[in-house]
């Protein structure tokens, strides 16, 4: 018994020295890491009700705690990239094309805590932030490209109005209202071309009734669509050249997932932002746990301890790290 107590206290000292116990070593490019990352990505996209769906670019780091009766806890750090699918699009993120670097893609950085039980992952907490790629990187990829413009710019608002009015003049019977401007670029030596992407929403009015009092349909009747277009002011002319492509999505059944709060259709307010920050989205009740996720991940790279096959701890000088970060999938 004494011997047992002694060895237990030795283990305690060992864990105290290494602060956080380490479970299995899981490499960032392993199928298991990919499984955890895709579960996290699905959760993040389902809870991000602005801008665009994100796609996975890289698993940066993984730390697994020792198994308990409740399974294992994973701390995973992910690099995400903006896709071309607006968040209202029914296309699953896996099938969404990534935003090319030349368009100043937004990059997301997420720390996720998951539980693995009977082979299934569940997200417990998420903390994300996002920012557009640097001007340096954009111009390296495309020296003649244009950076993102503020979403509340007056030229941007004008281009969106013109494009949406054009769409409303088409064959639809319903009057569609602007829901959210997703991104914008102002191009040309004389700032004469404005490129915009936006989401619109069906209202309770017909096209003929189009009025300010028309309100967005919600619940089962909610219907969204999106447009990508440009408005060009021709030199020396009053006329504008319009080039716009829009799609109306089928009304979607809300996600049947009680852990995901449903967010009512409300226009997003933008104050000089260039993109829709992932940090501002509602990522569930557990995002405050992110601090511990951060600590785990920050500590993790120094903490992995090799275990020999006999189950004994190897000397503290023998550090085995998982193969991390994983490969970048896109750029």
Ligand X SMILES: *[C@@H]1O[C@H](CO)[C@@H](O)[C@H](O)[C@H]1NC(C)=O
Q: How far is the CB of 65 from ligand X (least distance, A)?
A: 18
Q: How far is the CB of 63 from ligand X (least distance, A)?
A: 23
Is the CB of 273 or the CB of 313 nearer to ligand X? 273
Q: Which residue is nearest to ligand X (CB)?
A: 272
Is the CB of 118 or the CB of 317 nearer to ligand X? 118
Helix/strand/coil (H, E, C) string of the chain? CHHHHHHHHHHHHHHHHCCCCCCCCCCCCCHHHHHHHHHHHHHHHHCCCCCEEEEEEEEEEEEECCCECCEEEEEEEEEEEEEEEECCCCCCHHHCCECCHHHCCEEEEEEEEEEEECCEEEEEEEEEEEEECCHHHHHHHCCCCCCECCCCCHHHHHHHHHHHHHHHCCCCCEEEEEEEEEEEEEECCCCCEEEEEEEEEEEEEEHHHCCCCCCECCHHHCCEEEEEEEEEECCCCCCEEEEEEEEECCCCCCCCCCCCCCCCCCCCCCCCCCCCCHHHCCCCCCHHHHHHHHHHHHHHHHHCECECCCCCECCCCCECCCCCCCCCCCC
Which residues, 138 to 167, sit near ligand X by CB under 6 A? 150, 152-154
Is the CB of 144 or the CB of 154 nearer to ligand X? 154
Which residues, 243 to 282, sit near ligand X by CB under 6 A? 271-272
Determine the Cα–Cα distance for residues 218 and 183; give it in Å rounded to an integer.
24
Q: How far is the CB of 76 from ligand X (least distance, A)?
A: 19
Q: How far is the CB of 254 from ligand X (least distance, A)?
A: 20
Which residues, 67 to 96, sit near ligand X by CB under 6 A? none
Assess contact for 110 and 126: CB atoms under 8 A: yes
Is the CB of 116 or the CB of 296 nearer to ligand X? 116
Is the CB of 38 or the CB of 214 nearer to ligand X? 214
Assess contact for 162 and 231: CB atoms under 8 A: yes
Is the CB of 95 or the CB of 120 nearer to ligand X? 120
Is the CB of 119 or the CB of 311 nearer to ligand X? 119
Assess contact for 28 and 61: CB atoms under 8 A: yes
Which residues, 213 to 242, sit near ligand X by CB under 6 A? 213-215
Q: How far is the CB of 117 from ligand X (least distance, A)?
A: 5
Kindly state the number of chain residues that form the binding site for ligand X, as judged by CB under 6 A: 17
Q: How far is the CB of 273 from ligand X (least distance, A)?
A: 8
Q: Which of 120, 191, 255, 282 binds ligand X (CB under 6 A)?
A: 120
Which residues, 199 to 218, sit near ligand X by CB under 6 A? 204-205, 209, 213-215
Q: Which stretch binds ligand X (CB under 6 A): 37-45, 112-120, 140-148, 285-293?
A: 112-120
Which residues, 166 to 195, sit near ligand X by CB under 6 A? 170-171
Is the CB of 213 or the CB of 288 nearer to ligand X? 213
Q: How far is the CB of 213 from ligand X (least distance, A)?
A: 5
Assess contact for 176 and 168: CB atoms under 8 A: yes
Q: How far is the CB of 42 from ligand X (least distance, A)?
A: 13
In terms of Cα–Cα distance, which of 233, 199, 208 is closest to 52?
Answer: 199
The residue ranges that bind ligand X (CB under 6 A) are 117-118, 120, 150, 152-154, 170-171, 204-205, 209, 213-215, 271-272
């Amino acid at each position: 018994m004494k011997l047992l107590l002694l060895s237990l206290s030795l283990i305690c000292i060992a864990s105290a020295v290494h602060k956080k116990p380490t479970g299995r070593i899981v490499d960032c490019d392993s199928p298991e890491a990919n499984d955890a990352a895709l579960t996290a990505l699905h959760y993040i996209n389902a809870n991000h009700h602005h801008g665009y769906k994100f796609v996975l670019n890289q698993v940066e780091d993984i730390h697994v705690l020792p198994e308990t009766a409740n399974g294992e806890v994973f701390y995973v750090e992910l690099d995400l990239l903006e896709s071309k699918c607006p968040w209202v699009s029914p296309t699953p993120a896996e099938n969404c094309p990534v935003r090319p670097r030349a368009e100043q893609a937004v990059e997301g950085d997420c720390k996720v805590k998951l539980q693995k039980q009977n082979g299934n992952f569940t997200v417990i907490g998420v903390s994300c932030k996002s920012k557009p790629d640097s001007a340096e990187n954009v111009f390296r990829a495309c020296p003649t490209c244009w950076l993102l413009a503020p979403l509340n710019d007056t030229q941007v608002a004008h281009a969106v109005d013109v494009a949406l009015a054009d769409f409303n003049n088409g064959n639809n019977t319903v009057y569609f209202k602007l829901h959210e401007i997703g991104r914008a670029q102002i191009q040309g030596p004389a700032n004469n071309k404005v490129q915009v992407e936006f989401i619109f929403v069906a209202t309770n009015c017909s096209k003929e009734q189009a009025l300010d009092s028309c309100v967005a349909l919600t619940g089962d009747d909610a219907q969204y669509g999106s447009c990508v277009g440009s408005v060009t002011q021709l030199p020396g002319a009053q006329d504008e050249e319009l080039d716009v492509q829009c799609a109306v999505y089928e009304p979607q059944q809300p996600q049947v997932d009680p852990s995901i709060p449903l967010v009512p259709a409300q226009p997003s307010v933008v104050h000089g932002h260039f993109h829709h920050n992932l940090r501002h989205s509602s990522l569930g009740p557990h995002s405050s746990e992110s601090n511990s996720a951060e600590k785990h991940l920050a500590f993790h790279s120094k903490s992995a301890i090799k275990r020999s096959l006999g189950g004994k701890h190897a000397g503290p000088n023998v550090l085995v790290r998982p193969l991390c970060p994983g490969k970048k999938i896109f750029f």
